[in-house]
Amino acid sequence: MVAGGGDRDMLLGRDAPVVEHYAPELLYPIPRSEARRALGITDPLPFSGVDLWHAYEMSWLDAVGRPVARVGRFTIPASSPCMVESKSFKLYLNSLNNMRFPSEDAARETICSDISAVAGADVTLELLSPDDPTLAGGSLHGLCLDDRAVAVPDGEPLGEMLSVRAGEVVEQHYYSHLLRSLCPVTGQPDWATVWLRGRGQPLDPDSLLGYLLAYRRHQEFHEQCVERMFRDLLQHWSPESLTIQAFYTRRGGLDINPLRSTDPHARPLPRLNRQ
């Protein structure tokens, strides 16, 4: 078992003082296994993927005590035993603010080691200048669903909401900026754009949008929402290939972008303009 304790130790939803010293013990793991069992997802996993995080509030001191500011791009494998709870991630990064590192490589090595220990797998980290052009927001390719005349359905998102028309197997790309889900601990809303591409018979766009809108009252962590979508689409659309990525807006200086795909070589898209 990786570091961490029971729910009583979770910082999410609780007041937490600013920590002025290096505190890797703040990092809190959330095992992926329980939510996956509830979805019927077992090993071997039906998808590959990563959780791509951007940390916009990273700072520490260099060897002579001068502050360094960076944006961190973390990649956590979807195959890792645990997710990292986001508030604990934020507080851990804040605990580095007054710590001296002899070099940027030393800072990266320490941070990667700490996050990897909690996730239970190797985590990678790019440290970017706040002016790095790769941080510019992008846009998505495909059919935007947001202007379709679809109302928010009652109840929870169910795969049976998805409708497929008989027809030629084709490549399809869809996205929506209307994804809203609820934090399972605080009940507060999380906002995201969701994008998917797949190859299969025609997926009805109205049914897909209705399914995505049903998440507005659904309580689940970001990563778990995307895995639920993947499972439902795989079961009720039966595409030959499927990739889903959600781009959640920033909270506490962090955005989370889970990617799940039938393609083991799929890579996450960069951040969007709204992030």
**Beta carbons of 54 and 71 less than 8 angstroms apart:** yes
Q: Which one is catalytic: 51, 190, 232, 255?
A: 190
Active site residue 82: no
18 vs 156: CA distance, rounded Å:
37
Asked about 112 being catalytic, the answer comes back as no
The catalytic site residues sit at: 183, 190
